[in-house]
A and B are shown apart, each in its own frame.
Chain A
Amino acid sequence: MFLQRGVVAVLGAALLALGTAQNGVAQQSVRIGAIYPLSGNAASAGSSSKAAIELAVDLVNHGNPDLKDVPLADGKGLPGLGGAKIEVIFADNQGTPAAGQNQALRLITEEKVVALIGAYQSGITVTTSAMAERHGIPFMAPESVAANLTERGFKWFFRATPVAGDFARAYSEFLKEQQAAGQKTASIAVVNENTEYGNSVASVIKEQFAKDGLNISQVIPYSANTTDVQPQVLQLKEKNPDVVIFISYTSDAILYAKTMKDLNWKPAIMIADDAGFNDPSFVATSAGLVEGLVNRSSFAVGKPGSVSAVINDLYKKKTGNDLDDPSARAMQGMLILADAINRAGSTEPAKIQAALKATDLKASQVITGYNGVKFDDKGQNVLASSLITQMQGGKYVPVWPKDKAAGELKLPYKGW
């Protein structure tokens, strides 16, 4: 017994010595909490984001020689903290704001994380970030787009993703261009799930389109995770709009794709606002039903050897799927957080907050298609941008704006 204890002690000491010898300074890991839907109806999207965040952490901790331009991807951990490694503690928001809030509290008080990232659904980001704000912990929102998130006067909230206003402007410009090219856009329908995400994006689109003189003739809000979407599709079929914009999570996105085929109705232009329609399991199950679907994305795989291509390969090796847009944005969020903590040179929340405010990444340093990362006073990344993609032969291809396009836009919408 004593002998055993002795052996353990000696081994432990040897390991410690090894650890310190490598870097000169005692290594400790920096703990970051990540709150994502790992169960519930958005679990497939949440587990994709989890894999992407793990990949980001792996790049920082172990490095990759092909990614020289990406900050910290040289595998030396966080040099600002003596080469400390990042450790992510994942928590399941179960798809409900209350569970997300409880997990945020647990991560902050029990797990002693120095920053939080999450939480996919805007409605859950509302509650989790409020918990971070109360405890003075930086919160990174890489993918939640609801407009009001940055309008709450929060001091600890940072959002890397482009927001509803950006997409609404992009859709509006895109549609006006199609109009000029002779496409019919006289009547536009918006179909949105009715939580924070769907409602806020729909209302921003309505405002923007009204300003730009585009006619929204029909708005159909519906409850997410419904058992049946036939009535919604029949409402569309009755009014027969030229353009439909869907704002939906995965389960409903799959049902819309199937039901539109069953009831044999399609618009001339069908637009999906990211989310469910970019979920790899939507693409895997339904790509053949939505050929020509227009979508938005902040991530597009570039030429072989480019940063996005290398990362996509790494992600594919890890999960078997291509890196989807929301997961790419989650990964980007983690890299921004790592960069800030490194520059802060400390795990003190106030120093990380100050470093986040001073973030200044160039377009070449980010993995998504953002023009860079720089936060305004409200914590919004003012350099975030997105492009418009189209489903072509089972894959989303960037088609707009022209300078970022990799393929020709093909209209009208083909469907199945």
Chain B
Amino acid sequence: MSSILLQVIVSGLLIGAVYALFSSGLTLIWGMMNVINFAHGDFVMLAMYTAFLVWTAFGGGPAASVPIAAVVLATIGVLSYFLLVRHIMRGPMLAQIMGTFGLALLLRYSAFWYFGANFKTLPDTLLGPPFVFGSIRVDAPRLLAGTIGLIVTLSLHLILTRTALGSRMLAVSEDATAAQLMGIRPEHMQAAAWALAAGATGIAGALIATFFYTSPTVGETLAIVAFVTVAFGGFGSVPGALLAGLLIGVIEAVSAFMIGPVYKDVIVYTLFVLVLWTRPQGLMGKA
């Protein structure tokens, strides 16, 4: 295998881990509450601006911006739940879709108003030089984002499957009334799910900001990938999002390199449709 092709695969895996990272929040909300958060991309956008503000305020890198963005976004997640989602969940399905979609537009145009339309980037020297392994180069911000992407998705999975909090959250998602009879408050668990999901999204955004541009519409560009990743991996499945993210990253990179960048979407979406055709629940979703 040529060293360039190896570099293509490594680049694909890294971007795939990032796809997984910013998709896990979306899949978590779905798994917990059967609500699609159309504002997800704009949550990522807010986290990216948070990282940018942290840097302009005191020159802080990811060590500062990641925890700050996680807290800020978790707060926004909880607020969104109590002020909006809790109410629209009682409405018809269409109200739920339009509700979070409205939230998306509100956040996007607030960003236009407050930050302006200009693109921002963090300095590319923030994390030091790339790592070089033979002929393979791994850019430090992507490596960090990819690694933390793996850690966060695995941690989310462990929280859901191995902790009491996770069991309670799953109980609420399976049968809120029965869970209530067992002494679990559904609203608290759902708020916790929003905090976890938005917090993970905050981490994702702060990391993506280290190697991507930030603009009010960046959420639109990223959200499409997140929706495909989640549907591919199986709605509600965090490991599914991880697997799907990595697969999409590598397939995109290899097909763009071998066949051409304009064809990569055709190839990814063809595979996507084929997977849904044979497994409508996605790779790792529950049937």
Contact = CB atoms under 8 A, between A and B. Distances in A.
Contacts of A231: 8, 11, 252-254, 256-257, 261, 264
Contact of A286 (B117, B118, B121, B137): B121
B20 interface: no
Contacts of A282: 119
Contacts of A285: 119-121, 213
A187 interface: no
B257 A47 contact: no
Interface string A253-271: 0110010011110000000
The B contact surface, by secondary structure, is helix
B3 to A, nearest CB: 10
A223 B265 contact: yes
Interface residues of A, number: 42
B118 A263 contact: no
A238 interface: yes
Contacts of A286: 121
Interface residues of B, number: 40
B186 interface: no
A232 B117 contact: no
B124 A230 contact: no
A194 interface: yes
Interface stretch (A16-24, A36-44, A124-132, A333-341): A36-44
Contacts of B75: none
A232 B137 contact: no
A297 interface: no
B261 A230 contact: no
A371 interface: no
13 contacts: A38-B117, A41-B221, A47-B116, A220-B261, A228-B15, A228-B253, A230-B11, A230-B12, A230-B15, A234-B11, A237-B4, A261-B124, A263-B139
Given A221-B260, A222-B261, 15 more contacts: A39-B117, A41-B221, A44-B118, A220-B260, A220-B261, A227-B15, A227-B222, A227-B225, A229-B261, A231-B8, A231-B252, A238-B4, A254-B119, A284-B118, A285-B120
Interface of A: 38-41, 43-44, 46-47, 194, 220-223, 225-232, 234-235, 237-238, 250-251, 254-255, 258, 261-264, 279-282, 284-286, 289
